[in-house]
Amino acid sequence: MSEKHFIHDPSQLLAQALRGLSLTNPSLVVDEAQKIVRHVPAPFAQPIVRVISGGGAGHEPAFVGYVGQGLLSAAVSGSIFASPNSTQILHAIESVESTKGVLITVMNYTGDVLNFGVAVERAKARNPCLMIEMLVVDEDVGVPRSQSGKVGRRGIAGTCLVHKVTAAAAHQGKSLSEVASLGRVVLQRLGSIGVSLDRVHVPGHDGVNAKMALQHDEVELGMGIHNEAGSSRRCGSEAQSTSLVAEMLEQLISQEDPDRAFIKTLSPEAVLLVNNLGGLSPLELAGITTEVAEQLHGRYNVSTPRVYSGTFMTSLNGPGFSISLLFLQPDTSETILYLLDSPCEAQGWVSSTSTHTWGRSVEHELSNRHTSTIVDTLQQHRKQQVALNCDMAHLLQQLEAGIHEVIKAEPDVTHFDSIVGDGDCGTTLKRGAEELLKVCQKAPSNLDHFLDDVVGAVERSMDGTSGALYSIFVNALRSFFVSAAGCNSNPSLLVDRKVWVDAVGAATSALSRYTPATIGDRTLMDTLIPFQRALTSGSSPQEAATIATRAADGTKFMTAKLGRAVYVGGQESWVGTVPDPGAWGLSRFLAGIVGSAE
């Protein structure tokens, strides 16, 4: 849990955040004194039911981020993780045009329910003609009945689906009773559950009690959005995404546990919302979303006509996620999907996919003929390949030795790159080496076919700068052999030592056309160029590899002129001790293939 913030004063933070909403959406106005964000309809817009919500700050984009055309008419914010007071809420109710009525949606937390309830009663007392209803969202299945007691279940990210459906229905001109009824239908079929790697730190507060802190290998299942405890903790393999998602879906869907069987209207179709609690990378959230969808389809045979993945309701920068399922029934399925697809102008609703696009199946639209054409082209390419004659058994033996040296060197390369780069060089080289090992283990008998597979393996498994450099090199290597064999006019070549030396020279020259790197720039070229020049001048492969190793070690004393190391500060702390990771990794490979690895 990080206790570092750019804005430490929570009051200043909230005020600035609210003002920022009107900067990005000109149809919003902010009442800073009451912490209210309100949408101003276009002139002459028809009156509609106004949907209002709110709650503590720290859950952004909920709730103030859902104000806008097509979604909430207003939202009121409390302090971080604290309910707004009834006076604020009353101001929000009375700030909107309400001739068609007002629906209040509030999550089931004691402070929120009481303060919103007080405001609703005060509003009715001040305006007896006001039509107003309150909908309490309590869809969290993470806490079982035996623990929730009279308080009941909490409201979490599934609230966003309630907001979207009810507000879209209001904007379609439905009456207050119709809008509220749709909201209750959604609630009956909705369930959510969350999990987090750790708790969060609230700006301006002391740290979390040590007893509540999670260990480095623990996660908390059923954790709420205000740092409150969940129902259980998991660690080890049970804390990995596959096991966690399986348990979360079990708690959401299973009807066998009477303490948790909250959703009574299950069906073969469900809207899926995977919510980022604020601290996960989009990359990790996307992987989790895939895991959830695949388990839903594979284990429960539940299809997902709508999948929403993103940051909908946070717990500040909570390193966790929640799963919400809204099961669809034939009586309202089309209506709910239509309302979810309805466009809106609110920052918090991150999906912009249209109904038409949701209805497409691009995979079925792909032409089989197009796929066949690709296959035919590849087969024709195979027919045109040349015969390169060499001792394949000896070549594979040498390559495998070099590959194993690269795999062995991965921890060192990763350590070097974590100091002078972004830490991925070692894993990139290891990934490429492991893929090449698979190619070698197929025991290919033809060098041309083998080089073709090597090209594919490198391009498939290696990314980043290293991947591009090695891809250029192996493509140029194969191109040299094809050209030397005379292509179709003389498709045969005896590949001896001289041919290999010439091939390495040609590939190195090709690489130099795409990178300005040369000796002294602190890159892998500091290893490759000395190796190639030594071979060309008549040195044995063992001598050339020794020269390359010395050159790689010599990069310790160089100041970076290219690559990410140029941007890494504090070079004085590692110059003289840390070699260039790419240069060192290549030197290990070269040393391995000639049998001179130390």
* Binding-site residue ranges for substrate: 56-59, 112
Q: Is 152 left (phi over 0), alpha (psi -120 to 50) or beta?
A: left
Catalytic residue among 163, 226, 415, 449: 226
CB 385 within 8 A of CB 452: yes
Please state, in angstroms and rounded to a whole number, the distance separating the CA atoms of residues 375 and 381. 10
Q: What is the dihedral of CA 502, 546, 472, 387, to 10 degrees?
A: 40
CB 197 within 8 A of CB 219: yes
Q: Is 149 left (phi over 0), alpha (psi -120 to 50) or beta?
A: left
List Cα–Cα distances, 380 to 374, 376, 384, in angstroms: 10, 6, 7
User: Which contiguous run of DSSP H or E holds residue 221?
Assistant: strand 218-221
Closest CA to 321 of 281, 359, 378: 281
Q: What is the 3-state secondary structure (H, E, C) of 408-436?
A: HHHHHHHHHHHHHCCCCHHHHHHHHHHHH
CB 404 within 8 A of CB 591: no
User: Which amino acid would we find at residue 153?
Assistant: R
Q: Is 205 a catalytic residue?
A: no
Please state, in angstroms and rounded to a whole number, the distance separating the CA atoms of residues 346 and 70. 8
Report, as residue numbers or ranges, the catalytic residues. Answer: 226
